[in-house]
Amino acid sequence: MKIVILDGYCLNHGDLSWEKFSSLGEIVLYARTPYDKIVERMGDASVMITNKCTIDKKVLDELKELKYVGVLATGYNNVDVDYARSKGVVVTNIPAYSTESVVQTVFGLITELYSGIGYHNDTVKNGDWERCQDFCYYRTGMHQLFGKTIGIVGAGRIGLRVKDVAKAYGMNVLIYSKSQHAVEDGFKYATTLEDLYENSDIVSLNCPLDSSNEKMINEESLSHFKSNAILINTARGGLIDELALAQALNNGKIAGAGVDVLSKEPASSDNPLLKAKNIVITPHVAWATIEARRALMDIAANNLTAFLNGKPINVV
């Protein structure tokens, strides 16, 4: 059996092994595959492994032997799942592999904005401490997390783990979720998003992107933020109207933002956030610790093994 891995580089830069896949069949590995090469590279292979390649109706119609698409991610909006299902093609994804890594990035962005660790490191290496007349200096308004209120949008695995870490810092926690679970000790549900924005020092987006919440952070919603609030987004770039956020940052309507995702990735040079004030941007790496990538690799191989055994799991 031939297993074609169309875009393996993001998952594995060479620090992991594809051995579990090679034990299941002959693997053909590509670092990246442009759309117009997908059909050619797949050929008559029945198993496709991909991360972000677009697998639409046209591709599915041309791949007559395709039986299985293993998505190397939690999100699978790059695959026309309904059409694949109608053709008898099983599509699987990778749930819950990077929760701890994403939560770590949430607080990494928060602490950079609150403490300026990276910024101050740069100033020291530029000689500012050497030239300083005092034993220390602080260039940014530094804050402590203890006692602050974090508003978490989304009560899935990641949102609830953000809550746990926030409580360990001694923070107050507000959560907004369309489906409220049993109330636990130590946090409150916000009745509306506006309630969450108005009462939070930090707003963390930890929800999926769908048609109901696209650009939920916009000029109107930002008007409800405290002027000293910061916004964190490790979910999806499409949750934010990026021009509105850039204007809010540049005009001092909010104090800062930290984002790991943008609406267009890789980043476009005309994205207004790239030149906005008081923003930290990382290149969609919250998921990418070696521990999370190793877990992803294991789950992906287990997904394919289960499919080959006639008992598919993590089917979308």
- pLDDT tens per residue, range 85-115: 999 999 999 999 999 999 999 999 999 999 9
Q: What is the mean pLDDT of the chain?
A: 96
pLDDT of residue 172 exceeding 90, the answer is yes
Please report the pLDDT score of residue 186 as a whole number. 72
**pLDDT class for 187, splitting at 50, 70, 90?**
confident
How many percent of the chain have pLDDT more than 70? Answer: 98
Q: Three-state SS string across the chain, please?
A: CEEEECCCCCCCCCCCCCHHHHCCCEEEECCCCCHHHHHHHHCCCCEEEECCCCECHHHHHHCCCCCEEEECCCCCCCECHHHHHHCCCEEECCCCCCHHHHHHHHHHHHHHHHHCHHHHHHHHHCCCCCCCCCCCCCCCCCCCCCCCEEEEECCCHHHHHHHHHHHHCCCEEEEECCCCCCCCCCCEECCCHHHHHHHCCEEEECCCCCCCCCCCECHHHHCCCCCCCEEEECCCHHHECHHHHHHHHHCCCCCEEEECCCCCCCCCCCCHHHHCCCEEECCCCCCCCHHHHHHHHHHHHHHHHHHHCCCCCCEC
pTM over 0.85? The answer is: yes
Catalytic residue among 19, 220, 265, 291: 265
Please say if 265 is a catalytic residue.
yes
From the candidate CATH numbers 3.40.50.150, 3.40.50.300, 3.30.470.20, 3.40.50.720, the one assigned to the domain spanning 2-97+290-308: 3.40.50.720
**pLDDT class for 182, splitting at 50, 70, 90?**
low
Catalytic residue among 120, 143, 236, 293: 236
Write down the CATH superfamily of domain 99-281.
NAD(P)-binding Rossmann-like Domain (3.40.50.720)
Span 11-65, pLDDT tens digits = 999 999 999 999 999 999 999 999 999 999 999 999 999 999 999 999 999 999 9
pLDDT of residue 224 exceeding 70, the answer is yes
**pLDDT class for 178, splitting at 50, 70, 90?**
confident
Domain ranges of the chain: 2-97+290-308, 99-281
Please report the pLDDT score of residue 141 as a whole number. 81
Q: What angle do CA 228, 229, 235 make, to 5 degrees?
A: 160
Please say if 284 is a catalytic residue.
yes
Q: How far is Cα 277 from Cα 261, in angstroms, rounded to an integer?
A: 17
Please report the pLDDT score of residue 248 as a whole number. 98
Catalytic residue among 120, 143, 161, 284: 284
| Mean pLDDT, residues 128-141 | 94
pLDDT of residue 147 exceeding 90, the answer is yes
